[in-house]
Amino acid sequence: TQLEQALRNAIISDAIDVHFQPIVSLANNMVLGFEALARWNDPDLGFVSPAVFVPLAEERGFIDALSETLLRKAAEAALSWPRELFLSFNLSSAQLMDPGTSSSVLAILTRVGLDPHRLELEITETAVMSSADTAHRIIADLRAAGVRISLDDFGTGQSSLGRLREFIFDKVKIDRAFVSRMNSDRASEHIIKAVLAMCEGLELRVVAEGIEEHAEAAKLKALGCAMGQGYYFGKPADGAATLRYLQTHY
């Protein structure tokens, strides 16, 4: 297809960019790290969402090539940040089925010179379930090297509490669906409270995603949520804008 051909060309010509969105401490608004988000603005097709081209790359077998380029760019950007903030990078489900993923991720960190302790990998529950043994091996190898693992979009899709018993995660990212309904819907607030209590007991760090308003940030802070992410704190921005953001935000 036209889209597939354009994506191949974009990967080969290094036309896919990485943007960064801040993740902050809700206690004092300090920036703690950034999530890397792939951005592709094609001259003919215009802006294509990673929600479209990441699954296409997985299906056509070039997710490794795409992801390696993106991780390299993101890691290089992280090295240019003025402080040792963490870099959070999304791994796709196909990568958790490929036993070569842990060594390729660690090789990129070595080549770029980024300490594995600064990298977090965001994965979804569906990705862990699809090829459980391979996924567990990959996660164990990465964690042994110091990389941390976040459970992304928690509370949606196939999330099951049983997965948290396996202690393969360091952090949980509460899906923005709960945050956006929290101040209008009592059920969402109760669910967030319960997730925070559970994660405290399990010694999991928590990030609330999709915070768009001051009232949401204030409520989450009052409930004891440690970290937040969303347009209220900053939209995903390119490398240069991210450096400027860091000059004006602690």
What's phi and psi for 137, nearest 5 deg? -65, -45
> Between 137 and 232, whose beta carbon lies closer to ligand G?
232
Q: Which residues of 183-202 are buried (b: 16+ CB within 10 A; e: fewer)?
A: eeeeebbebbeebbeebeee
Q: Nearest CA to 207 among 75, 91, 34?
A: 34
Geometric angle at alpha carbon 139, from 98 and 133, rounded to 5°: 60
38 binds, among Na ion, Mn ion, ligand G, none (CB under 5 to 8 A by kind): ligand G
Binding mask 24-63 for Mn ion (x = CB under 5 A): ----------------------------------------
CA distances from 22 to 140, 175, 234 (A): 27, 16, 6
Where do contacts with ligand G occur on this chain (CB under 6 A)? 21, 37-38, 49-51, 54, 70, 90-92, 122, 152-153, 176, 209-212, 230-231, 236
Among the listed residues 58, 120, 122, 216, the single contact to Mn ion using CB under 5 A:
122
Q: Does 125 bind Na ion (CB under 5 A)?
A: no
Q: Does 152 bind Mn ion (CB under 5 A)?
A: yes
CA distances from 10 to 27, 48, 222, 239 (A): 41, 11, 45, 19
Quote the least distance from Cβ 125 to Na ion, whole Å: 11
Q: Does 120 bind Mn ion (CB under 5 A)?
A: no
User: Residue 131: CB partners within 8 Å, gap ≥ 6?
Assistant: 96, 97
List alpha helices for the chain, DSSP H.
Answer: 2-12, 50-59, 63-80, 101-112, 125-130, 132-144, 176-181, 186-201, 214-223, 239-248
Binding mask 66-105 for Mn ion (x = CB under 5 A): ------------------------x---------------
Quote the least distance from Cβ 35 to Mn ion, whole Å: 6
57 binds, among ligand G, Na ion, Mn ion, none (CB under 5 to 8 A by kind): none
> Between 6 and 178, whose beta carbon lies closer to Mn ion?
178
Name residues contacting Na ion, limited to 131-170 (CB under 5 A).
Answer: 152-153
- Bridge partners of 227? 25, 207
> Between 95 and 226, whose beta carbon lies closer to ligand G?
95
Binding site for Mn ion (CB under 5 A): 90, 122, 152
Binding site for Na ion (CB under 5 A): 152-153, 209
